[in-house]
């Protein structure tokens, strides 16, 4: 065919590709533009009319049409050269979208070739954001292909809905509403399809399309018709790119490339395509995607005009309004990214869709972008090119009138650029600084300050460390301001506490909502002690003592006046206690309230109730320092009380002289008894608590948790757990589980005075030590909110592993024992014997595997040993591979530099020799097709999982490489060891990409969380866990709490808990919930 006929075909093909209503107008416009071809065009149209092709131009309805395995049901839409039908694939019983070339285009060879080219192009692509081809073929000379049936709405539909309101008034919810209105399957639209801000929604949509284009470009496919109508938004928010009808593959003959001005959609064509200059076609797709981003941000296209020629001129001029002119809430960085994608110069535009997607990811993560706005010189040159005449006058005026103002303007611009640079720097360090400040405030019990810092952290940056800190802060106390410092505090029932503060009022406070439920005033009384006992009718009486030595018995409701009074003398009542053996017996301590500054001497009274009447049993005065605390023996008729540094035992039934039980080196503050252990707890003017065996007083344990003197104790009804209050502003929960350490509760800004256990809650009161300063408060904590899961082993920790349910932690020690701890209940479940320190612990399903340097391989299921094998090699690392067999195989590293594959029964299958150095760790890549092994020489070996073929080896460290972790995409490896640095290497060529500095000594372990957003490292020299951003190598947070070298680090399957074990046998579990 000659060039004249090709030109006529091209004109007619372009006219057919337009809207049918504009067909005749397009023919007339073509004849006017090409008068020399007008007669030939009309003649060709007449031939088409005679053979029926012009009638075929109008879409016709169909009832049922069978094409191979597909039954066509209805037409869904019509494109430039194809018609899409809903069809049913008979063999699979599924609905698909089947695309046929329009009949009128069968007349044009170029269109026929482009349709085939679309099939070839899409068949190369397999990406979650690209609609895949399911089948293709040709029926009676008509090519077709079947695609997945899209159930959402096109991005064009969403934009039309969103354009009904200004961009600044649009939210993410409006995106969901638009999708609900326009989706084909509205019942499948998810409420969480769009989250965040509307700008974040727009960025995510464009980012997903950019990832799809990057996949296509990487396989030699250029779309060339990227526009909103070719992008689908599915009901779950997934973005899908389709219609590759104008795509061009690298292996398609270059003669098939037409004049770009005749193809695609003009609004989304780059300037170089309109000029016929296509040096880098990938950047044309980037331009189109930039237009879409602009439209999402502003609800309008960057280039608009009423006629085609004016629109071409507008695009060639490439001077759209800035998006921020329509919505000032659009960040400057977002505007810069959009402007870079719409850069008229290909050299300054994003070089690839991948570069564009990377900057969009930076925006979502609040990281610095790579694009930079055009400089002043470039903007001035473009303006001169657009306005050559005016520029002369402007330049003259510039030199005559603007020299002085220019200096000022330049200074303003410099300051603005400096402010932008400072903002970028603040964005990079603000998150880490906020976490550090929140952590410091939390440790100082400045809870409101910590909450303020946490709320100031950018939401998009929040991860494990932020959630961990937020959990700690949220577990701090609820509080209620009280009139004065509390003298005494007691639990009345599981939901109520009562306290007195030296005034004449008894207050009952509901827990946990900490509201004052009732009050009772006793005239002319200064109330100093409180307790509660069951009354004779099954109710509860509140018993209070005053500074004049009178006991008042009032009903729990605090209604009316006192039911009765008991006179004990004139000495103030210091404490009232109930006998655990009989609730109708109470003990009363009468002594000065001024502690060391008041008169010496104490009086103890014991009363018993007979009906409504309280009768004295015994009273006795004791010389010496005034007592501060008294407690009943849970099994015998005796009392224990303090006298200065002494603890005395008094058998009140015989009323004999008291006996010295024990002597302390510090002044005693409070006493309590653990009935199950028969131990007397002693709080002193020291940070430690003594636990004295009542049968063998020389058996004394020292309990350490607080940082200042302990002032109050309260034992729970279970007889084993208790709480202590301290001037270090914390209360500590203790129990008799030998493998569980105490759990501290923080939240008070002042020193604590009293503490009580009230059902599932801990209640305490606080005030300033210096009188007259600060506001006294009552605090309530949930007992379950206390930090849990801290355990102690007898020997150093060797290895740790979580079970699949994340509720049990296995800790292998250097004593050859493996302990199973219940993390939720903070207790030891059972102990397993392996015999030697495990070099690896591995949980596969319900089975625990342990190996050691002696070659012993032991397995347990549900705490019972199921197998013990003796291998011929010292095993130093073990992982489970699921790539072969139903049950998978195991990869084991050895001390002689080998990696051995074992079958599920523990039989060796094959091996690879890496060298002579001990293999320290084996880590599978994210898609499990590769694994890396590190050794004592500091080398890293990358090995194919299916063949055990070595792909790459490189030297990462000059000393032992203890641990490694993969990035989420498997492209990078992080390696740590005896060197204090963590190094990052490319998994493709071993090239070093960066170094993570922060530890003060060797790093014994590395783990990456399942999402790949955080890297955790365990420091052997600085006893800390560091949390890193693996993308930019920034140190985000440091978790402390160990006092010796951390030897192992484990993370649960969902990344919500990390466990660490150290040289002293301490195991800590830190969570983010």
Q: List, by residue number, the catalytic residues.
A: 225
Alpha helices, H only, 464-516: 464-474
Strands 722-726 and 1003-1008: unpaired
Helix (H) or strand (E) holding 488, with range, is strand 488-493
* 853 burial via Cβ count (<10 Å: 0-12, 13-18, 19+): middle
Sign of the Cα torsion 31, 32, 37, 42 reads: positive
Which of 553, 558, 628, 632 lies closest to 598 in space, CA to CA?
628
- Facing residues of 860 across strands? 848, 865
**Closest by CA position to 540, among listed 555, 528, 530, 529:** 555
H or E stretch including 438?
A: helix 403-443
Evaluate whether 511 touches 763 at the Cβ level (below 8 Å). Answer: yes
Residue 441 contacts by C-beta under 8 Å, 6 or more apart in sequence? 447, 449, 450, 453
Cα gap 528→543, rounded to integer Å: 11
Residue 554 phi/psi, 5-degree rounding, is -130, 150
Q: How far does the chain reach from its first CA to its final CA, in angstroms?
A: 73
Contact predicate 882/888, CB 8 Å: yes
Q: Measured between alpha carbons, how far is 221 from 356 in angstroms, rounded to an integer?
A: 17
Instruction: State how far the Cα of 644 lies from the Cα of 219, in Å rounded to an integer.
Output: 86
In angstroms, the CA 487 to CA 128 distance is 67
User: Which residues lie below 8 Å from residue 448, measured CB to CB, with a gap of 6+?
Assistant: none
Distance (Å, rounded) from C-alpha 602 to C-alpha 617?
17
- Whole-angstrom distance, CA of residue 262 vs CA of residue 699: 97
Question: Is the backbone peptide bond immediately before 931 cis, with ω within 30 degrees of 0?
Answer: no
Helices 332-341 and 281-298 pack at an angle, to 10 degrees, of 140
Assign residue 902 a region: left if phi > 0, alpha if psi is -120 to 50, beta otherwise? beta
Alpha helices in 974-1063 (DSSP H): none
CB-side exposure of 21: number of CA atoms within 13 Å?
Answer: 0
Instruction: Strands of 946-1024 (E only): list them.
Output: 950-955, 963-966, 972-976, 982-986, 992-996, 1003-1008, 1015-1019
Sheet harboring 505-510: ordered strands across?
488-493, 496-500, 505-510, 516-521
Structure tokens at 62: 């169909």
The CA-based dihedral angle spanning residues 272, 276, 280, 282, taken in that order and rounded to the nearest 10 degrees: 80
- For residue 563, the number of C-alpha atoms closer than 13 Å in the C-beta half-sphere is 18
* DSSP 8-state assignment for residue 397: H
CA distance 413 to 954: 48
Q: How far is CA 597 from CA 591, 592, 667, in A?
A: 12, 9, 13
Please state whether beta strands 564-567 and 488-493 pair in parallel, antiparallel, or not at all (unpaired): unpaired
**Residue 923 near residue 935, CB atoms below 8 Å:** no
Provide the 8-state DSSP code for 979: S
Distance separating alpha carbons of residues 11 and 819, to the nearest angstrom: 81
- What is the rounded (10 degree) CA torsion for 588, 593, 596, 598? -100
């Amino acid at each position: 065919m000659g060039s004249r006929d090709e030109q006529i075909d091209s004109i007619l093909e372009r006219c057919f590709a337009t809207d049918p209503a504009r067909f005749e107008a397009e023919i007339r416009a073509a004849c006017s533009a090409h008068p020399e071809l007008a007669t030939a065009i009309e003649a060709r149209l007449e031939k088409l009319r005679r053979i029926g092709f012009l009638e075929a131009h109008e879409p016709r309805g169909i009832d049922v049409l069978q094409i191979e395995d597909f039954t066509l049901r209805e037409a869904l839409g019509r494109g430039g050269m194809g018609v899409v039908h809903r069809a049913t694939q008979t063999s699979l019983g599924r609905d698909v979208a089947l695309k046929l070339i329009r009949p009128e285009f069968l007349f044009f060879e170029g269109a026929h070739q482009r349709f085939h080219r679309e099939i070839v192009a899409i068949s190369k692509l397999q990406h979650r954001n690209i609609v895949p081809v399911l089948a293709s073929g040709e029926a009676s000379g008509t090519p077709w292909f079947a695609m997945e049936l899209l159930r959402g709405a096109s991005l064009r539909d969403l934009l039309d809905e969103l354009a009904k309101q200004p961009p600044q008034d649009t939210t993410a919810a409006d995106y969901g509403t638009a999708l609900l209105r326009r989706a084909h399957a509205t019942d499948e639209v998810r409420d969480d399809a769009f989250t965040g801000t509307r700008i974040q929604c727009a960025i995510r949509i464009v980012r997903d399309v950019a990832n799809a284009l990057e996949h296509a470009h990487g396989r030699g496919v250029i779309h060339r018709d990227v526009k909103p109508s070719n992008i689908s938004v599915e009901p779950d928010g997934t973005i899908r790119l389709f219609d590759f009808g104008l795509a061009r593959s690298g292996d398609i003959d270059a003669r098939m490339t037409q004049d770009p001005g005749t193809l695609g959609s003009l609004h989304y064509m780059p300037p170089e395509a309109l000029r016929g200059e296509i040096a880098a076609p990938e950047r044309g797709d980037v331009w189109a995607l930039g237009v879409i981003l602009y439209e999402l941000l502003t609800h309008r296209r960057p280039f608009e005009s009423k006629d085609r020629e004016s629109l071409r001129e507008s695009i060639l001029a490439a001077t759209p309004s800035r998006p921020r002119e329509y919505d000032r809430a659009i960040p400057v960085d977002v505007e810069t990214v959009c402007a870079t994608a719409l850069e008229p110069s290909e050299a300054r535009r994003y070089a690839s869709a991948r570069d564009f997607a990377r900057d969009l990811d930076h925006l979502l993560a609040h990281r610095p972008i790579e694009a930079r706005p055009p400089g002043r010189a470039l903007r001035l040159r473009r303006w001169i090119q657009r306005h050559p005449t005016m520029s002369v006058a402007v330049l003259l005026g510039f030199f005559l009138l603007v020299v002085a103002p220019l200096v000022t303007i330049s200074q303003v611009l410099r300051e603005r650029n400096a402010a932008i640079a400072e903002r970028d720097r603040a964005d990079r360090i603000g998150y880490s600084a906020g976490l550090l400040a929140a952590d410091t405030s939390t440790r100082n019990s400045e809870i409101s300050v910590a909450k303020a810092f946490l709320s100031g952290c950018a939401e998009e940056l929040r991860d494990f460390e932020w959630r961990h800190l937020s959990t700690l802060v949220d577990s701090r106390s609820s509080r209620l301001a009280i009139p004065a410092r509390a003298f005494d505090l007691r639990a009345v029932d599981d939901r109520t506490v009562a306290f007195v503060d030296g005034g004449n009022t008894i207050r009952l406070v509901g827990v946990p909502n900490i509201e004052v439920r009732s009050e009772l005033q006793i005239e002319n009384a200064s109330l100093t002690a409180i307790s509660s006992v069951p009354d004779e009718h099954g109710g509860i009486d509140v018993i209070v003592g005053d500074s004049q030595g009178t006991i008042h018995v009032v009903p729990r409701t605090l209604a009316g006046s006192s039911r009765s009074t008991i006179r004990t003398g004139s000495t103030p009542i210091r404490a009232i206690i109930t006998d655990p053996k009989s609730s109708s017996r109470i003990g009363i301590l009468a002594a000065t309230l001024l502690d060391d500054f008041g008169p010496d001497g104490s009086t103890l009274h014991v009363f018993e109730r007979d009906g409504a009447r309280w009768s004295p049993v015994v009273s006795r005065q004791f010389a010496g320092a005034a007592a501060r605390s008294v407690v009943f023996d849970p099994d015998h008729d005796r009392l224990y009380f303090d006298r200065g540094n002494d603890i005395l035992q008094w058998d009140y039934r015989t009323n004999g002289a008291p006996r010295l039980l024990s002597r302390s080196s510090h002044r005693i503050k409070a006493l309590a008894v653990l009935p199950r252990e028969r131990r007397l707890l002693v709080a002193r003017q020291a940070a430690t608590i003594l636990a004295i065996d009542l049968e063998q007083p020389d058996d004394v344990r020292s309990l350490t948790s607080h940082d200042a003197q302990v002032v109050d104790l309260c034992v729970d009804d279970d007889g084993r757990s208790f709480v202590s209050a301290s001037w270090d502003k914390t209360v500590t929960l203790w129990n008799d589980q030998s493998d569980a350490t105490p759990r501290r509760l923080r939240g008070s800004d002042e020193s604590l005075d009293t503490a009580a256990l009230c059902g599932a809650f801990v209640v305490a009161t606080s005030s300033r030590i210096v009188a007259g300063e600060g506001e006294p408060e009552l605090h309530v904590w949930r007992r379950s909110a206390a930090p849990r899961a801290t355990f102690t082993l007898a020997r150093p920790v060797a290895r740790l592993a979580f079970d699949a349910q994340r509720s049990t932690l296995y800790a292998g020690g250097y004593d050859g024992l493996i302990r199973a701890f219940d993390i939720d209940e903070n207790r030891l479940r059972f102990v397993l014997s392996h015999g030697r320190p495990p070099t690896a612990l591995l949980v596969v399903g319900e089975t625990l595997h342990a190996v050691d340097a002696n070659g012993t391989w032991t397995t347990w299921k549900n705490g019972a040993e199921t197998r013990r094998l003796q291998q011929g090699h010292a095993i130093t690392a073990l992982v489970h591979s699921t790539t072969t067999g139903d049950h998978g195989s195991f990869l084991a590293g050895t001390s002689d530099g080998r990696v051995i594959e074992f079958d599920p029964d523990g039989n060796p299958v094959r091996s690879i020799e890496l060298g002579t150095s001990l293999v320290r760790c084996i880590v599978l890549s994210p898609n499990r097709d590769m694994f890396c092994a590190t050794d004592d020489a500091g080398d890293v070996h990358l090995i194919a999982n299916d063949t055990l073929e070595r792909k790459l080896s490189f030297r990462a460290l000059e000393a032992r490489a203890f641990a490694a972790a993969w990035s989420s995409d498997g492209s990078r490896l992080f390696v740590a060891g005896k060197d204090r640095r963590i190094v990052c290497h490319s998994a493709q060529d071993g090239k070093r990409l960066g170094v993570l500095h922060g530890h003060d000594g060797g790093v014994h372990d590395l783990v990456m969380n399942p999402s790949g957003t955080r890297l955790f490292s365990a420091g052997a020299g600085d006893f800390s866990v560091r949390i890193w951003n693996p993308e930019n190598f920034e140190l985000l947070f440091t978790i402390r709490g160990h006092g010796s070298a951390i030897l192992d680090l484990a993370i649960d399957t969902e990344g919500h808990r990390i466990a660490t074990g150290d040289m002293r046998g301490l195991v800590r579990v830190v969570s983010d919930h």
